[in-house]
Amino acid sequence: MKKWATLLGLLLAAGASYAQQPFGAISLATPTPREYVKTEWDIALSEQYKQPYNQQEVTLDLVLTAPNGQPVVVPGYFDHNEGTGSRWKVRFAPRQTGAYTGRFRLTRKAGTQESAPTRFVVAASQRPGFLHKNDLYTFRFDNGQLFRGVGENVGWEARSFENQKFTYEYLLPTLAKNGANFFRTWMCYWNLPLEWQKVSSTKRYVNSTDYFHPGAIRRMDELVHLTDSLGLYFMLTLDWHGHLMEQGGWRNSSYNQANGGPARTPTEFFTLPAAQQKYKNKLRYVVARWGYSTNIAAWEFFNEVDNAVFTQQDSLLIPHAAVTLWHAEMSRYLKDIDPYQHLVTTSISHRDILGMNSIPYLDFNQKHIYKHTEKIPAIYPDYIQNFGKPYVVGEFGFRWEDADPTYATDFNYDYRRGLWYGLFSATPVLPMTWWWELFDDQKMTPYFRAVRTISDQMLAASRGQFQPFAVQAGVVQSFGMRCGNKYFIYLLNDSPTATRAPISFGVATAQKLRVQTFAPGRQQFVKLGDFTAQNQRLTLPAQPLAPRQEVVLVLDALPKR
């Protein structure tokens, strides 16, 4: 009997030890939670962990019931150790107003424990919410407002050998004040180097032994705050092809076994379960720390992953199946843990990866176009027909080798026409030029205002309905788009000689149409006149166009008398 009593005592003691509450003080740092705005909690735990970023060892989540009764799970993240315990944070941007209830849930190998119940009430805000897939032409905010991205790449801040003025604080306000609403930026070993202990080509970051680079964390916090203040939306590229290239970043990669990582080769980065788990730790941290941001429009896994898969001679280095299966698994996982359902994508340069365009959890597909800007309009219908998804040209430019100012005139011409090709095509983000430093030097950024002016008119008139139509304009390139009761026509003289463009196209209305011309360079509207179609066809006076000149025509149906 004494033996059984002793055993029972040991079991009770063990149970009491495990039942010890690990949660200390939990404080809500946000006085008034608001819809689509960051609400933050600070959580004290009585425990410390060897690998607090490894979700196989420990995770902290806020498990909620939303006002509509739906469950919401918000991942938390480790902040720092303190005394014999640790401090954690949860950041949440509510997507509904009203009362939320829930608990904090701590999961580790010893088991799962929950905090006392928590309750908070969310007030309304004037923000539109997070961006989601809508149709081939637009993304849609939570509140139903439509969005088309107009902007460029800001791939990184100035490297150590570049003009140091090119920081986010300089480039992003310049974009915003000139009408852009979108940009794309990278995480790599010289910019936002979250997973890089060894950095290079940078004056901003230094080497670190931390699991996640503290300088990258601070800078990413600043970037999110800056975009929020400017109303800019961006695509965050989480990795780039050079990471997996032997002559690139692989020698310093935290995934490389030579640096203590799990993978012996770039192929094992995609195929090895331990490497996949390490990447999932990164995804969880990114969502937990910055996922609340409505200004992060999309997570992009890779920049030009095909350039890691192939050599310059197009020989295969990494099997297609490995890359496709990795993207399928990571996109599914990312959708599972992201309570806001941000858009998810990846990109290629010019060589498709077999099966990747059909992955269901990638919301839109991407490729990059250099030296062939004239081919952009034909790209969209081809991919859309084959895969039924929105398509985005994530990079384009006159050259990919360098931004030699000798070619500035050609660069500027490509910059202009690439934007208009996108605006008159089925894409939710207009083609985004590379070489942001060159175009800043060339004072091209104000041109975004012209494109944004017409884009806003299209969105206001269309109510989500975009209908392309054919325009006859002689030898001049011509594109038409009907949006509600408005017709828009883009004309480009892609030749070295001046010409006059006769304009004719079919219309679906017998009403008189008021026609204005819009000169993008001057950003000026001029009334051309009022015209009536004959036999459902409208003919307009020929428009004079200098070499490489463009003009936009805007036609409004006048009220019937």
The pLDDT tens digits of the residues spanning 292-340 come to: 999 999 999 999 999 999 977 777 899 999 999 999 999 999 999 999 9
Q: Dihedral through CA 170, CA 176, CA 182, CA 188, nearest 10?
A: 10
Architecture of domain 17-122: Sandwich (2.60)
Rounded to a whole number of angstroms, the CA Rg of the chain reads: 27
pTM recorded for the entire structure: 0.94
Which pLDDT value is given to residue 315? 76
Letter string b/e over residues 377-398, b meaning 16 or more CB atoms within 10 A of that residue's CB: bebbeebbeebebbbbbbbbbb
DSSP-derived secondary structure for 485-546? TEEEEEEE--SSS-EEEEEEEE-S--S-EEEEEEETTTTEEEEEEEE--BTTEEEEEEEEE-
Sign, CA torsion 250/252/255/260: positive
Question: CB-based contacts of 264: which residues, under 8 Å, 6+ apart?
Answer: 257
Q: Residue ranges of the domains in the chain?
A: 17-122, 145-462, 467-557
Q: What percent of the chain has pLDDT over 70?
A: 96
Q: What is the arithmetic mean of pLDDT over 95-101?
A: 98
Please write the tens of the pLDDT for every residue from 70-92: 999 999 999 999 999 999 999 99
Which pLDDT value is given to residue 253? 96
User: Taking the CB of residue 259, how many other CB atoms lie within 10 A of it?
Assistant: 13
Which pLDDT value is given to residue 11? 38
Joined together, the tokens standing for residue 286 give 């990114």
CA dist., res. 314 & res. 512, Å (int): 56
Q: Report whether pLDDT(2) > 60.
A: no
Q: Are 146 and 116 within 8 A, CB to CB?
A: no
Q: Please tell me what DSSP assigns to residue 26.
A: E
Q: Are 510 and 545 within 8 A, CB to CB?
A: no
User: Residue 444, Cα to own-chain centre: how many angstroms?
Assistant: 23
Q: Are 19 and 38 within 8 A, CB to CB?
A: no
- CA angle at 369 for the pair 368 and 373, rounded to the nearest 5°: 150
Q: Report whether pLDDT(1) > 70.
A: no
HEC states along 139-162? EEECCCCEECECEEECCCCCCCCC
- CA angle at 436 for the pair 239 and 371, rounded to the nearest 5°: 85
Fold of 145-462: TIM Barrel (3.20.20)
CA dist., res. 327 & res. 356, Å (int): 7
Please write the tens of the pLDDT for every residue from 440-458: 999 999 999 999 999 999 9
Question: CB-based contacts of 360: which residues, under 8 Å, 6+ apart?
Answer: none
Q: Report whether pLDDT(14) > 60.
A: no
Nearest to 480 by CA among 552, 385, 391, 557: 552
90: β partners:
41
Nearest to 249 by CA among 211, 324, 198: 198
Which pLDDT value is given to residue 466? 97
> Which of 7-21, 44-58, 284-298, 412-426 bottoms out in mean pLDDT, i.e. has the lowest?
7-21
Please write the tens of the pLDDT for every residue from 363-396: 999 999 999 999 999 999 999 999 999 999 999 9
Residue in the structure block whose two tokens are 């640790």: 86
Q: What percent of the chain has pLDDT over 90?
A: 90
Which pLDDT value is given to residue 508? 82
Which pLDDT value is given to residue 17? 41
Alpha helix (H) residue ranges in 180-297: 214-230, 266-271, 273-290
Nearest to 419 by CA among 386, 451, 454, 388: 451
The residue ranking higher by pLDDT, 434 or 18, is 434
Question: CB-based contacts of 35: which residues, under 8 Å, 6+ apart?
Answer: 94, 95, 96, 97, 122, 123, 124, 125, 127, 129
Letter string b/e over residues 455-475, b meaning 16 or more CB atoms within 10 A of that residue's CB: bebbbebbeeebeeeebebee
HEC states along 543-556? EEECCCCEEEEEEE
Q: Are 517 and 545 within 8 A, CB to CB?
A: no
pLDDT interval class at 19 (50, 70, 90) = low
Q: Do the two domains 145-462 and 467-557 of this chain adopt the same fold?
A: no
Q: Are 370 and 400 within 8 A, CB to CB?
A: yes
Please write the tens of the pLDDT for every residue from 484-520: 989 999 999 999 999 999 999 999 877 899 999 999 9
Joined together, the tokens standing for residue 260 give 């203590």
pLDDT interval class at 12 (50, 70, 90) = very low
Question: What are the φ and ψ backbone dihedral angles of 365, each rounded to 5 degrees?
Answer: -100, 160
Nearest to 285 by CA among 368, 354, 370, 192: 192
Which pLDDT value is given to residue 69? 97
Query: According to CATH, what is the number of the domain 467-557?
Result: 2.60.40.1180
User: Residue 524, Cα to own-chain centre: how many angstroms?
Assistant: 32
What is the pLDDT of the chain when averaged over all its residues?
94
543: β partners:
501
Q: How far is CA 529 from CA 500, 517, 550, in A?
A: 18, 10, 19
Which pLDDT value is given to residue 402? 87
Joined together, the tokens standing for residue 79 give 């902040």
Q: Report whether pLDDT(531) > 80.
A: yes
Helix (H) or strand (E) holding 136: none
DSSP-derived secondary structure for 342-366? -EEE--BSSSPPTTGGG-TT--SEE
